[in-house]
A and B are shown apart, each in its own frame.
Chain A
Amino acid sequence: DVKVTQSSRYLVKRTGEKVFLECVQDMDHENMFWYRQDPGLGLRLIYFSYDVKMKEKGDIPEGYSVSREKKERFSLILESASTNQTSMYLCASSLAGGQSYEQYFGPGTRLTVT
């Protein structure tokens, strides 16, 4: 079974803090994704990566950055957390090409910024 793990299920941070969310997958997938999910807004793509050290902006990259130094690990960084970044953050991975839409998601990190 594909396993995607995220470093924390729940996280509380203060406004202005730098926040790191870590994601690890164990299936040698090329693609990795970061989404946020908010009530009424569905899933929105923040960033994705199709290879080590490669990244592409999604729909809402502002206020976020990412890092992919190893194939299995994809980190999301909130440079200076703000209250409007309170959300559920979901990491996903997939194979490349036509299988890229069979995405395997982690359990999510519920981040609260106070």
Chain B
Amino acid sequence: DAKTTQPTSMDCAEGRAANLPCNHSTISGNEYVYWYRQIHSQGPQYIIHGLKNNETNEMASLIITEDRKSSTLILPHATLRDTAVYYCIALEYGNKLVFGAGTILRVKS
């Protein structure tokens, strides 16, 4: 699976959009981009995934660049409860889910 690179940490003001970038420049055509998050002392939580097209669900939006070398997870109105570690994973079906270091998002009031 392609290696992903994320910033170590980010801050966001409460109520503002949180934009979390992920670089996956070596991604192959069969690899999906998955996002999970882990709030302190809880298990990871699936957020969203996509292949080529942008995706939106009740939690977030996923914007994938046309060349698929990077993507951005958008939390449209961040709240304090969105403070967590966010993991971007490039994954080909048939392989295991592997979590890297992720981005620590701190939402501040």
Contacts and interface: CB of A to CB of B under 8 A. Distances in A.
Interface of A: 4, 42-43, 45, 58-59, 90-92, 98, 100-108
A58 B34 CA distance: 20
A40 to B, nearest CB: 9
B49 interface: yes
Interface of B: 32, 34, 41-46, 49, 91, 93, 96-101
B36 to A, nearest CB: 8
The DSSP consensus for interface residues of chain B is: loop
Given A101-B34, A101-B91, A90 B96 contact: no
Nearest to B34: A101
B46 A102 contact: yes
B97 A107 contact: no
A104 B32 CA distance: 18
Closest 6 CB pairs of A and B: A105-B43, A43-B99, A42-B99, A90-B43, A102-B46, A105-B44
Contacts of A108: 41-43
B46 A103 contact: yes
Given A42-B100, A101-B34, A107 B46 contact: no
Contacts of A107: 41-43
Contacts of B34: 101
Nearest to A106: B43
